[in-house]
Structure 1
Amino acid sequence: MKPVCVLGNGQLGRMLRQAGEPLGIAVYPVGLDAKPETVPYQESIITAEIERWPETALTKKLAEQETFVNRDIFPCLADRMRQKKLLDDLGLATAPWLLLENAEQCAEIFTTFSQFVIIKRRVGGYDGRGQWRLRQGEQCSLPQDVYGESIVEQGINFSAEVSLIGARSSKGKLVFYPLTDNLHEEGILRISVVRPQLNEKLQQKAETMLSTIMEKLNYIGVMAMECFIDGDNLLINELAPRVHNSGHWTQNGASISQFELHLRAILDLPLPKLVVNSPSVMVNLIGIPINPAWSSLPLVHLHWYEKEVRAGRKLGHLNLTDPDVKRLSGVLTKLAPLLPNEYQRSLSWAIQKL
């Protein structure tokens, strides 16, 4: 079995490494400051946990390798404008958008769009950073370097946010997990809920959309598609050409985790039908220290990233899964006092979703 080098050594690279161990796959998460001679890239399949990276001696070497799976797709999807153009070309629905070219455009934004818009940097920025939400009448005071390097999207009064995670093999085989309901707060994913076989019509629509994208790009591996539900329509918000935060529940709630699935796809291993029989909940642990009491509750699986605690930083997550919705909701209720006040709304939301 060929080893795998992961460009990036954050929590996603760590979990890819963990997923490879039972299969005998050596996975090497590689920091961007690593020296090329310390990395076995020449005999490895290469993947990435991040869409965009600086040019270093190492990334130059990796970019030269034909074994860098999806190498030429990352620049396309890392740029929000190029990503939007791709979706437009494929006839897939997104929020209406345009390139923000200069400050004078700010005065015209609300004649083009509704009373609420979101400005996003074309590259970089995540978890709410590099984004500005503006309502009609608010002053449009933005950093000068935003102009020409950002897009404006019409704000959508969506009824729900969902994501679909799927994978494609080099032979074109496609497999998908059930749609995941997500709740974001201040631009950061707080909690995800999965209820298998809840809405077959919406599931099929999402699978068709993501299939179209992966097949157009000849993409290999796991890809995530975040969407808004607007009436009976799905509007694509963003694509991630990698394993994704909203798929962490698969570690304990699916027959194959998204991390193992990605390794299988890029190594040309079988992609069997994914089995998800029980509802699952994933709780992001953001900016809070570890609490051993979490693990005292039944059903709770703690995944801790061993990172320095900082406000707004994803430090770990909790996965809970059980076929009995009442029991699962009961554990979430017991978990509530063990988490800060800012989690109470999201936990109540998850219990209602179940």
Structure 2
Amino acid sequence: MSRIWVLGAGQLGQMLKHAGMPLDLEVCPVDIESEETFPLQPHEQVTAEREQWPDTAATRQLAAHPAFVNLETFPILADRFTQKSLIDKLGLATAPWQLVETDTSAEQLHQQLGERVLLKRRTGGYDGRGQHWLREPGLDAIPDDWHEQAIAEQAIDFDEEMSVVGMRGADGQCFFYPLTLNLHVNGILLGSAAPLARLAHLQAEAERMLGTLMNDLDYVGVMAMECFRVGDHLLINELAPRVHNSGHWTQAGANISQFEAHLRAVAKLPLVQPTVKNTSVMVNLVGTERNDAWLSVPGAELYWYGKDVRPGRKVGHINFCLDSHADTKAALDQLQPLLPVNYVQVLNWLRSQLD
């Protein structure tokens, strides 16, 4: 049995562990707060479920391992300044932006980027956190301690949010999953649907953009690229050098999940173009208590993360990949009364994508 260590023991690390079992890969997620020492061997591989980590005994040991895959990529993509700079260097489309420097003022940002400007902390700040809007020229101010610690982006009047997940092997071979349409509420992903025939004409553009990035970084494994659709073109929003929430549907909807794809690449096992079964939908479970009645809904595939439930916290997801859109909509109808009332919006959105 080959062993792969994962820096991080959250739900992504646990799902990587689950995906490794059929391949006879021993996947070992490691708590980033641990002060233990682990029996890493020189021939074993190290990957990560996150872009950043604290300085602990465990993270120092794993990050010092010579076979830590993509180690040099993480600091580039974890910092929105260096990430955006890379996208610009490669000539790929993204929202106009600039670094918030020591002497930058809100007035200057409005003059250069427009009436609506979104500040994003350079590191961290996912799921709607670490962001600050400037919407009132002449009245806005940049928050204290955000200078040099944030970028400013021009607000984009996009039509839809979507993402693409790709995989790249050490030999440079790339494969991609179909574009995924996503619904975010208050910055948190709550629903996804893929594939959708009406998005197929954007697939080549998405693959070209993500392929260019992965090749430039000599990346190995799965990477996700979040995009805005503006008319018939895509703008890159953010990149994730890891398996990603918007790719969870692949657990039900493809012969190779994003988790297996990542492990294959890291372990230098063959990569192939995934076979997609049917249109899948994913319902992200955020801040809601577990309800075993979900399991009674036909076709429901529940992944519960075993976390303490807190507002805004991702605690699980449910995938559906049924034979017809009508079957999927019927399943969503049965699921609706079993979820909090705020999920009516999410399920209505998913049903509308299946019409």
TM-score computed with the length of structure 2 as normaliser: 0.96
* DSSP 3-state at the match of 1:332: helix
- Verify the 8 A CA contact 1:178 1:195 in the aligned structure 2: yes
Report matched runs for 1:123-272 at 5 Å: 123-137=123-137, 139-272=139-272
Whether the aligned pair in 2 keeps the contact of 1:2 and 1:43 (CA below 8 Å) is no
Matching of residue 8 in structure 1 with residue 8 in structure 2: yes
Distance 1:275 1:197 in 2: 15
Change (3 A) 1:336 1:32: same
| CA shift for structure 1 position 8 | 0.5
1:333 is matched with which residue?
333
- Inter-CA distance 293–110: structure 2 relative to 1 (3 Å threshold): same
- Counterpart Cα distance in 2 of 1:41 and 1:234: 43
2:323 counterpart residue number = 323
Count, aligned residues: 354
Aligned to 2:21: 21
Report how far residue 233 of structure 1 moved.
1.6
Q: Distance in 2 between matches of 1:261 and 1:353?
A: 27
CA distance in 2, matches of 1:101, 1:5: 38
Q: In structure 1, how many angstroms separate the alpha carbons of the residues matched to 2:349 and 2:85?
A: 34
Match status 1:101 vs 2:101? yes
Cα distance in 1 for partners of 2:41, 2:162 equals: 36
Q: Does 2:302 align with 1:302?
A: yes
Per the TM alignment, residue 308 of structure 1 is displaced from its structure 2 partner at its CA by 0.4
How far off its partner does 1:178 sit? 0.5
Q: Distance in 2 between matches of 1:224 and 1:104?
A: 31
**Residue identity matched to 1:88:** D
Please name the residue that 2:347 is paired with.
347
Q: Distance in 2 between matches of 1:205 and 1:52?
A: 29
**Letter matched to residue 26 of structure 1:** E
- Structure 2 unpaired stretches of 5+: none
Q: Which runs of 5+ in 1 are unaligned?
A: none
2:327 match: secondary structure:
helix
> After the TM superposition, which of the residue ranges 282-291 and 130-139 deviates more from structure 2?
130-139
CA distance in 2, matches of 1:349, 1:18: 30
Give, in whole Å, the separation in 1 of the partners of 2:169 and 2:254: 19
1:64-75 equivalent positions in 2, closer than 5 A: 64-75=64-75
Q: Pick which of 320-329 and 8-17 moved more.
A: 320-329
How far the C-alpha of 1:277 sits from its partner, in A, is 2.8
Counterpart residue identity of residue 211, structure 2: S
Q: Determine the C-alpha separation between the residues in 1 that align with 2:91 and 2:43.
A: 39
Q: Partners of 1:138 and 1:244 in 2: how far apart? A: 39
Q: 1:114/1:141 Cα in 2 relative to 1: closer, same or farther (>3 Å)?
A: closer
CA distance in structure 2 between the aligned counterparts of 1:35 and 1:102, rounded to whole angstroms? 37
Kindly state the Cα deviation for residue 338 of structure 1 after the two structures are TM-superposed.
1.2
- The answer (yes or no) to whether the contact 1:159–1:228 under 8 Å persists in 2 is yes
